[in-house]
Amino acid sequence: MTTADATHESREAGGRYSSVSIGLHWTIAVLLITQVILGLRFEDMPRGPAKGEAFALHMSLGITILLLSLGRLLWRLTHPAPPLPDHYKTWERLLARATPVGFYLVMIGMPLTGWIMTSAGPRPYPELWGVLPWPKLPVGEALAAPSSGFHHRGPWIFWTLLALHVAGALKHQLLDRDGTLWRMLPLVPRGAPR
Ligand code: HEM
Ligand code: HEM
């Protein structure tokens, strides 16, 4: 193998996210979009047993997203992302770094604020997915109002980030054709043409 071949191979191998990152990215993306839509519907339901069941689902899905997101953050901190392509302009680098930070804030902030704002309530939690008892956080009423403020604004932050993120992915894929989307796609063999 020539030196040029070896360099090419190592770029290919290092140019994509790991399978763990890709698996977590798409799992969390699907769960989070589902959860935001469910949350907006749940909010509008009249009080009653159906709302109780909707809360149990909202809470179970939310805590699952929290645990997956904490795992993902830990993985991300211990496994650096592949470097951004050299041709990215300064504003593209800034957006490419800032949007994921915003997403982590939503992925962790939304379930955490939901958990905090409901912990001061009088009723015990339903079991997580109907099987696992889930504790309330030892927080007082004082934190409930700011948490609720974040929880209600979260969807707008989320849709804005998602619009920016998808627009960026499509721009790089369709206009720049630089393989950015390929870095995060599952089931693409490593080294395959972009
Ligand atoms: C990724 C996690 C979560 C997301 C994306 C999310 C999203 C949402 C959304 C979009 C709403 C409607 C807000 C509005 O219309 O203003 C909502 C409401 C609500 N969420 Fe969450 N949520 C999450 C986790 C949780 C958790 C873990 C809990 C509780 C343990 C929770 C408790 C609630 C409650 C009680 C409401 C209704 C608030 C009210 O009626 O004033 N959420 N959520
Ligand atoms: C709820 C939906 C989504 C969330 C929360 C999300 C979150 C993220 C985060 C946090 C990263 C940075 C990876 C890291 O360093 O940890 C990332 C990267 C990426 N996402 Fe998403 N994403 C979502 C949906 C999408 C969609 C729909 C697409 C495709 C159209 C997409 C394409 C990508 C690509 C191509 C990258 C890699 C960018 C790069 O190499 O710099 N994502 N996403």
Domain positions in the chain:
9-80+87-184
DSSP-based three-state secondary structure for 132: strand
Residue type (1 letter), 23: G
What pLDDT is recorded for position 13?
Answer: 36
Lookup: tokens for 32 = 């989070």
The token pair at 126 is 């339903």
Calculate how far, in angstroms, residue 147's C-alpha sits from the geometric centre of ligand 1: 10
Specify the pLDDT at position 187: 75
**For residue 194, what pLDDT is reported?**
52
In this structure, whether the domain defined by 9-80+87-184 belongs to CATH 3.40.50 is answered with no
pLDDT at 192: 53
The reply to whether ligand 2 has any atom less than 6 angstroms from the CB of 184 is yes
Residue 54 is predicted with a pLDDT of 95
Report the separation in Å between the CA atom of 183 and the middle of ligand 1, taken as the mean of its atom positions: 32
The closest residue, in CA terms, to atom 36 on ligand 2 is 184
Predicted local confidence at residue 43, as pLDDT: 85
Q: With helix as H, strand as E and coil as C, how does 127-188 read? A: CECCCECCCCCCCCHHHHHHHHHHHHHHHHHHHHHHHHHHHHHHHHHHHHCCCCHHHHCCCC
Mutate to test the pocket of ligand 1, among 35, 36, 40, 58 (most ligand atoms within 8 A of CB): 58
43 Cβ below 6 A of ligand 1: yes
Its pTM stands at 0.90
Q: What is the pLDDT along the chain (194 residues), one digit of tens a residue?
A: 333 333 332 333 348 899 999 999 999 999 999 999 999 999 889 989 999 999 999 999 999 999 999 999 999 999 989 888 888 899 999 999 999 999 999 999 999 999 999 998 888 999 999 999 999 999 988 999 999 999 999 999 999 999 999 999 999 889 988 888 888 998 776 555 55
Q: Which ligand is nearest to the CA of 113?
A: 1
Distance 165 CA to ligand 2 centre (A): 7
